[in-house]
Amino acid sequence: MLNIKNLKVGLAEEDKQILNGVDLNIGEGEVHAIMGPNGSGKSTTSYVLAGKDGYNVTAGSAELNGENLLDMDPEERAAAGLFLAFQYPVEIPGVGNMTFLRTAVNAQRKARGEKELTAGEFLKIVREKAKSLKIDAEMLKRPVNVGFSGGEKKRNEILQMAMLEPKMCVLDETDSGLDVDAMKLVAEGVNALRDGKRSFLVITHYQRLLDHIKPDVVHIMANGKIIKTGGPELALEVEQNGYADILAEVA
């Protein structure tokens, strides 16, 4: 599904290297988790995959199902099936959440040559999905993320993901800021989308999310590289001992 090879990335504006050769292979239907200290390059990896401005790829490659992601515009990557749940979802004043969603869904359908959803079809689907994430009609009407609580923003990301039905979902700290119940909801939302084909890359600091979303593989990132890869037990190790041992091990 997602194949990242020796990805090296620096900032466009200043002479600073952030990713120092990331390697990552996620197969169809797999769930991978990335953990790692603050500032290690996890969000940067997700931004570069999604095509955010401001970064220079100096080496390496990133492919989604064999297609070169790095050559595409952000919207082409989205239409190809890449979704990023943002660590900090963006507010868009004046634009109804529902309008935003429908515009996005139809833009992607159009890009893929599919028929656009009518207002009625769309409404039916969105209501159903919103309900399972306990997002009420009021929140759907409000402008995108404006005045949403931290947890509401994260649930809204998952709603967008559910509506867009991507192939490859990258979730950047979707668990931070969630209360216990909300975390369960989000995890259920994610699990409901696991169908053996769709793949996930879950960026998190905490084992507790991985209790609900069981990863197949866990990676540790530090200083812009994946320094260790293992099974779910690796996350438990981090939870108990922090990163010191692992960092020392590879040093």
Partner 1 sequence: MTDMIAKDGVEAETVEAVKSLSGKYKYGFSTDVEIEYAPLGLSEDIVRLISEKNDEPEWMLEWRLQAFERWKQMKEPDWAMVDYPKIDFQDIYYYARPKSMSEDKPKSLDEVDPKLLETYEKLGIPLKEQALLAGVEVPDGDRKVAVDAVFDSVSVGTTFQKELKNAGVIFMSISEALKEHPDLVKKYIGSVVPQSDNFYATLNSAVFSDGSFVYIPEGVKCPMELSTYFRINAENTGQFERTLIIAEKGSSVSYLEGCTAPQRDVAQLHAAVVELVIQEDAEIKYSTVQNWYPGDENGKGGIYNFVTKRADCRGDRAKVMWTQVETGSAVTWKYPSCILRGNESQGEFYSIAIANNMQQADTGTKMIHLGKNTKSRIVSKGISAGKAQNTYRGLVSMHPKAENARNYTQCDSLLIGDKCGAHTVPYIEVKNNTARVEHEATTSKVDDDQLFYCRQRGMDEEEAVALVVNGFCKEVLQALPMEFAMEAQALVAISLEGSVG
Ligand X SMILES: Nc1ncnc2c1ncn2[C@@H]1O[C@H](COP(=O)(O)OP(=O)(O)OP(=O)(O)O)[C@@H](O)[C@H]1O
Site of interaction with partner 1 (CB under 8 A): 50-53, 73-75, 77-79, 83-84, 86, 89-96, 98-100, 102-108, 110-111, 116, 119, 123, 137, 141, 143, 160, 164
- Orientation of helix 180-193 relative to helix 119-132, angle to 10°: 130
Stretch that binds Mg ion, among 9-17, 52-60, 87-95, 112-120 (CB under 5 A): 87-95
> Do 78 and 131 touch, CB atoms closer than 8 A?
no
Select from ligand X, partner 1, Mg ion, none the partner in contact with residue 18, using the beta carbon and a kind-dependent cut-off of 5 to 8 Å.
Answer: ligand X
Please name the amino acid found at residue 29.
G
CB of 188 to partner 1, least distance (A): 22
Residue (165 or 239) nearer to ligand X, CB: 239
Select from Mg ion, ligand X, partner 1, none the partner in contact with residue 52, using the beta carbon and a kind-dependent cut-off of 5 to 8 Å.
Answer: partner 1
Stretch that binds Mg ion, among 10-18, 71-79, 81-89, 94-102 (CB under 5 A): 81-89
Select from Mg ion, ligand X, partner 1, none the partner in contact with residue 3, using the beta carbon and a kind-dependent cut-off of 5 to 8 Å.
Answer: none
Bridge partners, 20 (sequence order): 8
Stretch that binds Mg ion, among 67-75, 80-88, 175-183, 192-200 (CB under 5 A): 80-88
CB of 99 to partner 1, least distance (A): 4
Taking residues 175 to 214 in sequence order and writing x for each that binds Mg ion by CB under 5 A, - otherwise, the string is ----------------------------------------
Select from ligand X, Mg ion, partner 1, none the partner in contact with residue 40, using the beta carbon and a kind-dependent cut-off of 5 to 8 Å.
Answer: ligand X
Residue (24 or 135) nearer to Mg ion, CB: 24
CB of 221 to Mg ion, least distance (A): 10
